Amino acid sequence: MPYWDVPDYAALLGDIETACRKGAEKALEMRPTMRTEIKLDGSIVTEADRALEADIRAVIARIDPGTPIWGEEEGYEEPNEKGLWMIDPVDGTSNFAFGQPLWGVTAAYFHDKKVRLGVIVVPELGWTFTAIDGQGAFLNGTRLPKMRPGTIEPYELVGLGNLDLPGFGKLPGKPRHIGAFVVEAGIFLKGGMRALVTNGVRMYDAAAGIVMAREIGAEIKEMDGSDWQDDLWTRDVRCRTFGFFPPDSNWPFQSQ
């Protein structure tokens, strides 16, 4: 039954979390025998990527008919008055295809200029992150604490979601790169990274992490220090460089 007479984010989140969990289980089952291909952009795609996206799309069509969907494998639809669903069925496909555990399934819902809910499932690390705008972020059902404000110390870790970050000099902290934005976001949410900077992602990669980072009190900024605006990036383009930062951090925005 559609929920849209009165939007019910909790009901939508429950269904999409279940779909992402089932998708992650299915991907693990498929991995030993799945086929892989190389896409035109040189990246890997697997049978699991396509199967998971089709399954999650079917769930969305059932629970929220008429709302557009943007997925990595089946393509882009423009948002309408009902918003936009975004899916990355396997974020970190290369890691997944080569047997690494650093990959995940993610989906998020955007409405009225903002990401309203999101799910990230990283099955081989045992993580399921969920969030609803204004209601907190959770890891495996336990609310995540607000992050500590203030400076990024030289010994603290800073995640780089992409190694191609033009215009950067020496960064604060110790840089780390993992190769799957959802995993990097998860580590940041758990407090294992003090900041996370990325470029070249699309909103379907980052949307769930964005709503979760806001819910733990992080500032989401572009590199000139301006506030990130979700609605600018629900187009089929790659995002400009942006990051998750502690409130009142010492990130050198003025030098970017």
* pLDDT, tens digit, 9 for 90 and up, residues 44-96: 999 999 999 999 999 999 999 999 999 999 999 999 999 999 999 999 999 99
Distances (CA, A) of 152 to 139, 197, 199: 24, 13, 20
Q: What is the average pLDDT across 21-43?
A: 94
Residue 199 lies in a domain: yes
- Per-residue pLDDT at 250: 74
- Per-residue pLDDT at 203: 98
- Per-residue pLDDT at 238: 94
Cα-Cα end-to-end distance for the chain: 48
Pair 119, 19 in one domain: yes
Pair 95, 175 in one domain: no
Task: Give me the CATH number covering residue 120.
Answer: 3.30.540.10
- How far is Cα of residue 70 from the mean position of the Cα atoms in its chain? 13
pLDDT at 162 over 80: no
Q: Encoding tokens for residue 128? A: 């399921």
- Per-residue pLDDT at 18: 98
pLDDT at 14 over 60: yes
* pLDDT, tens digit, 9 for 90 and up, residues 241-251: 999 999 998 78
Contact 77, 61 (CB under 8 A): no
| pLDDT category of residue 40 using cuts at 50, 70 and 90 | confident
Look at residues 143, 175, 197 and tell me which one is the last residue of a structural domain.
Answer: 143
pLDDT at 171 over 80: no
- For residues 33-61, b (16+ Cβ closer than 10 Å) or e, as one string? ebeeeeeeeeebbbebbbbbbebbbebbe
- Per-residue pLDDT at 231: 97
Residue 249 lies in a domain: yes
pTM of the entire predicted model:
0.92
Residue 151 lies in a domain: no
Secondary structure (H, E, C), the chain: CCCCCCCCHHHHHHHHHHHHHHHHHHHHHHCCCCCEEECCCCCEEEHHHHHHHHHHHHHHHHHCCCCCEEECCCECCCCECCEEEEEEEEECHHHHHCCCCCCEEEEEEEECCEEEEEEEEEHHHCEEEEEECCCCEEECCEECCCCCCCCCCCCCEEEECCCCCCCCCCCCCEEECCCCHHHHHHHHHCCCCCEEEECCCCHHHHHHHHHHHHHCCCEEEECCCCECCHHHHCCCCCCCCEEEECCCCCCCHHHC
- Per-residue pLDDT at 196: 95
Total domain count, the chain: 2
| pLDDT category of residue 5 using cuts at 50, 70 and 90 | low
- How far is Cα of residue 132 from the mean position of the Cα atoms in its chain? 14
Task: Calculate the average pLDDT of the chain.
Answer: 92
- Per-residue pLDDT at 39: 87
Pair 110, 203 in one domain: no
| pLDDT category of residue 167 using cuts at 50, 70 and 90 | low
pLDDT at 183 over 90: yes
Pair 214, 102 in one domain: no
Task: Give me the CATH number covering residue 234.
Answer: 3.40.190.80
pLDDT at 254 over 70: no
Longest CA span, the chain: 53
Look at residues 143, 166, 186 and tell me which one is the last residue of a structural domain.
Answer: 143
Q: Which domain, by its residues, includes 232?
A: 157-255
CA distance 65 to 80: 12
Residue 2 lies in a domain: no
Q: What is the average pLDDT across 106-132?
A: 97
- Per-residue pLDDT at 78: 97
- Per-residue pLDDT at 215: 98
Contact 144, 185 (CB under 8 A): no
CA distance 109 to 245: 23
